[in-house]
Structure 1
Amino acid sequence: MALGDLHEATAAETNNLYYVDVGMYDTPAYGLVYILDAERPALIDTGTGFNYKTVLDAMETVGISPEELEVIAPTHVHLDHAGGAHLLADACPNADVCVYEAGAQFLTDPTAIWEGTQNVIGDRIEYYVEPEPIPDDRVVGLEDGETLDLGDHSLEVHHAPGHAFHQAVFYDPVNDGVFTADAAGINSPHIDGITHTSPPPGFDLSGCLADVELLQSLDPAALYYAHFGDRETGTLLDEYADRLESWVDRVAAKRQELDDDEAVLEFFAERAKTMDAWGKAHAKEEERMNVSGVLHDLDQRE
């Protein structure tokens, strides 16, 4: 798997769904964009924008021209999911950009989300494109419980704020699958098991566990991970809930032991289990970011 690789999603008899590897952080099988070949064609998530032309090429392979695309639907406005929205909207003039209503403001005025991303991402900002404002009349704010009609498919909108207050997951009842955003963790084919994602400042353990319960209540046959690809649901949601709780417990215990947050960050960064799959630089920075989110959550509880 590498930049530009196009895959057909088939988990639990999924149909009309494809995903393209956008080479995020120069890491294979880490970041993707979904292409739903519905009567009203849609993209779910956009990547950082760094390789947005890869998405247009994949659409062409599927048989969707830029003019035919009708919906661009970021699951939330973290820029690994929405950073390419303005570029794809420019290239696809008939597409609405549909996002959970709390995130819409960051698409029409991306100043704050860009500044926040630079602060959190560090050196990996080189893999991002500075977002430009999307005109108000191109952005559609979605409400919790709303259904986005795509003709022969639909996306049911479910607010899932544990990872970020502006996150939603989208359930496609025709495929009986849910686009998980970051609510079900990271499940890349190049890593062993499910990996946590807990970035600051929005990570909230209790909220994330509630999001897992939400996904369980939808009882989908398939999970469509933003990081990375389609999976049959099986026990994955139970596994992720256990993983989150044990991850936060580990960070809290190490903080109590070391009594120095920078030492805690460095301890986990140096031991990131994803180094072989993602490369040392990306894996370490990702783990530092995840530990920062847990430490922030622990502070908020105090």
Structure 2
Amino acid sequence: MHKPVDLGHGISLIDLFDLGVAKRTGTYVFHEEELTIIETSASPSIPHLLKGLEALGLNAADIRNIIVTHIHLDHAGGAGLLLEKCPNARVIVHPRGKRHLADPSRLIQGAKAVYGEKFDELFEPIVPIPEDRLIVKEDGDTLQLSEHRTLTFFDTPGHANHHFSIYDSLSNGIFTGDTVGVFYPQLLEYGVELYLPSTSPNQFDPNVMLHSAKRLEEMKPDRIYFGHFGVSEHPSAVFEQLRYWLPKFVEAGERVMNEQSLASFEEKTKAVTKEFLELVQPYLDERCVPRHADVYQVIHLDLSVCAMGMVDYWQKRFAE
């Protein structure tokens, strides 16, 4: 395991090695009287989370709040399993996510549609969470962690309808889950900051995503804490890149959907993935990122899931 990273402001980041990949998904730990974490990733990541807590000198039994930005399994799939180790914790979730954590059957069905036969290896076991341990936070609700730190929850759909972002008063930072995209810190060694939109199925909506991003931008945060992965201290670049890439992704999706020769969802998804890569690859080539760089494995995976969401979005639009 990698040692947890001290991000300052009483926050640490534990690498959860989601999909077996470093710097993919992480848990943020608030070192407060009311020990609180944001994101759990999927169940196979829970051993990494527990080891990370141990490295920080913390005990799972001391956790009071487990917050999930949204209920996609790479963010919240391990919450039920973790909760078994946290007798004093409750799970804080968006109002639209509560019932799916109590009964994850539809979540499982949706993820199997995306990940197929890899599902068990990536996500099992998915443990239902007792309703009395689920707490909902509505738009504008707060959680006081200490006299110096208050978290405020904001409804931020676009990536998913069950998504909130969390503003932290102490760091003047926002935990955005997937609302404003994915950060690839692996590229920093090449001097490149890349933030790509996350358009995964099946509630993606570009206009709603931009509206949520604008709302967060207007808070003038000093930093953005991403679900994937890590913290950016250049929020203006984050919002600029979302506005740059998202229309290009949407146009690429529409172009492919108008191609009559592509009949099946799979064919369309493959074609959109290729279009996305043809947008991103020259951008990285110009910045001297070698094509054999490890980050491409993650980018390819992300773009294929983004393509599924884009095809789903346009199919719904064309059916209206």
TM over 0.5: yes
For 2:41, the aligned partner's letter is G
The 8 Å contact of residues 69 and 95 in structure 1, kept in 2 or not, is answered as yes
1:131–1:275 distance in 2 versus 1, CA, 3 Å: farther
Q: Report percent identity of matched pairs.
A: 26
Of 16, 19, 25, 1:25 maps to 19
Task: Tell me what 1:145 maps to.
Answer: 140
- Structure 1 residue 253: Cα displacement: 1.8
Partner deviation per Cα, 1:220-260 (whole Å, 9 max, x = no partner): 10000111101112321122122111111122123324641
Distance 2:2 2:80 in 1: 20
- Residue 209 (str. 1) matches residue 210 (str. 2): yes
- Structure with higher Rg: it is 2
Task: Tell me what 2:96 maps to.
Answer: 102
Distance 2:305 2:143 in 1: 33
Of 54, 57, 82, 1:60 maps to 54
Give the 3-state SS of the residue equivalent to 1:234 in structure 2: helix
Of 265, 271, 290, 1:267 maps to 271
Moved more, 253-262 or 158-167: 253-262
Moved more, 237-246 or 157-166: 237-246
Partner deviation per Cα, 1:42-69 (whole Å, 9 max, x = no partner): 1101011102021122122223212211
Partner deviation per Cα, 1:56-97 (whole Å, 9 max, x = no partner): 221222232122111000001001000110111111110111
Distance 2:186 2:272 in 1: 20
Distance 2:132 2:218 in 1: 34
Give the 3-state SS of the residue equivalent to 2:99 in structure 1: helix
1:176–1:124 distance in 2 versus 1, CA, 3 Å: farther
For 1:228, the aligned partner's letter is F
Q: Which runs of 5+ in 1 are unaligned?
A: none
Distance 1:93 1:200 in 2: 34
Give the 3-state SS of the residue equivalent to 1:224 in structure 2: strand
1:199-278 correspondence runs (5 A): 199-232=200-233, 233-257=235-259, 259-260=261-262, 261-270=265-274, 272=277, 273=281, 276-278=293-295
Task: Tell me what 1:298 maps to.
Answer: 314
- Structure 1 residue 123: Cα displacement: 4.5
- Structure 1 residue 113: Cα displacement: 0.6
Task: Tell me what 1:73 maps to.
Answer: 67
The 8 Å contact of residues 15 and 26 in structure 2, kept in 1 or not, is answered as yes
- Structure 1 residue 278: Cα displacement: 4.4
Distance 1:196 1:276 in 2: 21
Partner deviation per Cα, 1:133-184 (whole Å, 9 max, x = no partner): 1111111111111001212322100011111110000000111000011011
Give the 3-state SS of the residue equivalent to 1:218 in structure 2: coil
Task: Tell me what 2:305 maps to.
Answer: 289
The 8 Å contact of residues 25 and 124 in structure 1, kept in 2 or not, is answered as no
Task: Tell me what 1:8 maps to.
Answer: 6
Distance 1:37 1:20 in 2: 13
Give the 3-state SS of the residue equivalent to 2:236 in structure 1: coil
Number of residues of Structure 1 aligned to a counterpart in Structure 2? 295
RMSD value over aligned CA atoms?
A: 2.0
The 8 Å contact of residues 186 and 227 in structure 1, kept in 2 or not, is answered as yes
Distance 1:154 1:278 in 2: 35
The 8 Å contact of residues 157 and 168 in structure 1, kept in 2 or not, is answered as yes
Task: Tell me what 2:80 maps to.
Answer: 86
1:124–1:153 distance in 2 versus 1, CA, 3 Å: farther
The 8 Å contact of residues 39 and 153 in structure 1, kept in 2 or not, is answered as no
Distance 2:293 2:116 in 1: 21
Distance 1:64 1:161 in 2: 33
Distance 2:299 2:109 in 1: 22
Give the 3-state SS of the residue equivalent to 2:177 in structure 1: coil
Give the 3-state SS of the residue equivalent to 1:169 in structure 2: strand
